[in-house]
Amino acid sequence: SRVLYGDAQVATLLLATFSIGIGLGSLACAKLSGGKVEIGLMPIGALGISFFTWQLSNSVIPQSDELRTLVQMLSADGTWWAIFNMTMMAFSAGMFIVPLYAFVQIRSDDELRSRIFAVNNIINSAFMVTAGILAAGMIYTGYSVLQIFKVAAILNLLVTIYILSVVPEFFLRLVGWLLVHSMYRIKKQDLHHIPEDGPALLVCNHVSFIDPVIILAVGPRPIRFVMYYTFYDLPLANRLFRWLRSIPIAPKSESPERLTEAMDSIAEALDQGHLVCVFPEGGITRNGEISRFQPGIDQILKRNPVPVVPLAIRGLWGSWFSRHNGRAMSGWPRFMKMLSVVSGPAVPPDQANRLVMYEKVVALRGSEK
């Protein structure tokens, strides 16, 4: 009534608008996630909350000596802009909360999940009460409701930046999701074979420089990638690879120490229950064919007997990131190219070796490069 100068019907409209916005945001999140928990959408929701809250704070509704009815409110200047921003703020909240709660649910142990959600509810309630007290104090000291919205937008943005710095996985999944879905049309086949929990070794053919991003974007959970140490040490890219928690590896002929460190890091990651992905060819293909696998797989399984999941990327040969023309990332990129990521059933560690996994990856890839 002090800002929009509306009666009870207007208040009901705003509540309904907010509820519908959250519902639409949740549905959009489910659609964009492609049947899995896509935490890369969380930053979009968080940034959207700040942006549209700020936009809402700039809404200008003409003053009125009397409270407006619903019809009068809808005909007033600036009303539809305010409703749009409120709807989009709620829409962003739906995109934020769905992957976040799903993330907590799938990452928590069964024995602790109920306690985690109980504590989370207590923390949420405490912050709601604190926010209410702070808002009341700000109004008492002369701040307007619209100014409080501005402060809330700024604080939410700062918290979002802090979260992304502490848990860079959110931002990296966002970058991977945007990059992959803007440049390619991806067909996912039998990816349910990738375990949602517990350690496993993923082996995949190496077609291009973007292979890890594609696998990360379609995978059900975080993946530790093993990569050639010279790329890992690149000055500008090193920080990104550290965020990804990639594992640099070197041939024994180039750096025995680096090889030992890599094997130790792989063993530690598997001991901790992570997924580790290797490209056993030892390099990106130069002719589109799958080269023989290096003995690193056997060494890893000897130390950590874990299930091995074969993966294959189809259709990426000839893309901008491949070496189809001799040099990758030259010329103009092709957008919306169709490619597939295929998974086969996990192979028990006592049946897996580099020869067996080579045959399985070749069979999964088929004739399509």
Please indicate, yes or no, if residue 142 is contained in any of the structural domains.
Answer: yes
Same-domain pairing of 130 and 187: no
Answer yes or no: are the C-beta atoms of 276 and 224 closer than 8 Å.
yes
Same-domain pairing of 186 and 312: yes
Q: Which of 225, 224, 199 is nearest to 308 (CA)?
A: 199
Domain count for the chain: 2
Token pair of 163 as six digits:
């979260």
Same-domain pairing of 160 and 197: no
Residue 163: the pLDDT is 87
β-bridge partners, 347:
308
Residue 88: the pLDDT is 95
Owning domain of residue 259: 177-365
Residue 90: the pLDDT is 95
Please indicate, yes or no, if residue 64 is contained in any of the structural domains.
Answer: yes
Q: Is 306 helix (H, G, I), strand (E, B) or coil?
A: coil
φ, ψ of residue 268 in degrees (nearest 5):
-65, -40
Residue 37: the pLDDT is 72
Same-domain pairing of 190 and 87: no
Same-domain pairing of 162 and 250: no
Same-domain pairing of 25 and 119: yes
Decide which of 166, 192, 221 is a domain's last residue: 166
Same-domain pairing of 223 and 127: no
Please indicate, yes or no, if residue 172 is contained in any of the structural domains.
Answer: no
| Type of residue found at 289 | E
Please indicate, yes or no, if residue 91 is contained in any of the structural domains.
Answer: yes
Same-domain pairing of 234 and 185: yes
Please indicate, yes or no, if residue 2 is contained in any of the structural domains.
Answer: no
Please indicate, yes or no, if residue 83 is contained in any of the structural domains.
Answer: yes
Q: Is 140 exposed, middle or buried (0-12, 13-18, 19+ CB in 10 A)?
A: exposed
CA separation, residue 189 to residues 308, 312, 314, 345 (Å) = 17, 10, 11, 12
Same-domain pairing of 228 and 302: yes
CB atoms within 10 A of CB 63: 7
Please indicate, yes or no, if residue 1 is contained in any of the structural domains.
Answer: no
Same-domain pairing of 196 and 298: yes
Please indicate, yes or no, if residue 322 is contained in any of the structural domains.
Answer: yes
Decide which of 166, 187, 211 is a domain's last residue: 166
CATH classification of the domain holding 307 = 3.40.1130.10
Residue 35: the pLDDT is 66
Same-domain pairing of 107 and 216: no
Decide which of 108, 134, 166 is a domain's last residue: 166
Instruction: Per-residue pLDDT tens, the chain, 369 aa: give them.
Output: 666 777 888 888 889 999 999 999 999 988 887 667 778 888 999 999 999 999 988 877 777 777 888 888 888 888 888 889 999 999 999 999 888 888 888 777 778 888 998 998 999 999 999 999 999 999 999 888 889 999 999 999 999 999 888 877 788 788 777 877 777 888 889 999 999 889 999 999 999 888 888 898 888 888 999 998 888 888 877 887 888 889 999 988 888 899 999 999 999 999 999 999 999 998 889 888 999 999 999 999 999 999 999 999 998 888 878 887 777 776 676 766 788 999 999 999 999 999 999 999 999 998 887
Q: Which of 83, 82, 92, 100 is nearest to 51 (CA)?
A: 92
Same-domain pairing of 45 and 95: yes
